[in-house]
Structure 1
């Protein structure tokens, strides 16, 4: 699906909010700040809020070091507020949920946001695979709900998958496409389907690479080198799995196996590594040591 009307950049709402300040949420907040919006970042408690703010501060400071800020890091960070209450989203014109990939948790958070903001406020989810239609049930009216799937690490990634549900209003899609361009990223518009476009293809490749390691076809390093040099992928599927998190990949694969069939059944090796705590970069060990 092509982006509607090849929309130009559209000014972001003066105030935006991100719920969830982990690596993805902090990266999204960073992108919104650099695009000129005032951002409220919502976390569960004061310690998590402080850690989330620290992530954004580091990202903004790195942008300053690279010379990509239009103003000072201090000025950009003055537009960031962290809070531990969902009420912090009340004045936002766009709210992006970026909590863990749990349907129940996302529905709970999105429902709380929908009860806090006005009915015309756009609510987005950063899910990488869950159904937009199902999540929209928590955010009436469903026409204002959309998927904005950012990629990790957000500051370095040039892509955002704009995922439309059955009820998503065309004007909301057009605004979302424009906002993505304002953040300096390229949007692709995808109809709601399990795994969308990127997770579906990326997981399929990653699972097959894991099966090849389990079968002794080649080492993780050689498989990744083959894909990087032979197919010009910027990073191999196994190193990417380490960066995404083996537990995250396992969760997406389980969901895709349930919705699309056995071809997405997670390999035994992936299950074993997750059960042993080998989750990739965040645990210090995956297919590579970190």
Structure 2
């Protein structure tokens, strides 16, 4: 699935209509301006089009503008969640290929397709690490977006696929969207200090923007980079150099977290084990 990197005409028209509905108000932001892109990202986030929302944030995270810090934080949870969603899809289709010994080929094609998408998003996530570190020196982080849609539960169609039931084309497309929604929801939960607790996260995001401690956000970032590192493990894409990059990023953010946090302690052990396994491969 090709990424769409431009503000579609319908969305642009809708945004301009909203912004110009009051003739006595301020002039609307120019198309392509930081404010316009920020509003476009907010709107596509609300509608659940997370891949397009991440694209709208691209320029905002690379230039000096008033939305940069908020855009980096928002883009992080999007990329981390999208990558995790595609990783989950690939893993369940891989289980399906093993379960459906009579016809594993369609499942294997889905594994390759979804790991390719996951790898693409992972590269973008790796590129974001430096900018993410810049906005997490100390203090607090602002998460300026609404609570994401979706559920923390694994989609039933994907669970069935893992047992060897191949979804129809329509089901596969819907479960792709659902898996990405789930991934973004989990990424936001971790960043807000409520791992896998969607109810608590929704309570926190009742009235965004939400402010969280850097130590809390950094721990969520560390967990996200560790989760993504597994895409490049020997059992998956087997790219040790990339796996190392993600493990190093995970450690970089773990160093900013509260060392006494039980999640931080668990992650420290996981990182140590992953580095040992990686050293045997290189």
Q: TM-score w.r.t. structure 2 length?
A: 0.31
Structure 1 or 2: larger strand share?
1
Structure 1 or 2: larger helix share?
2
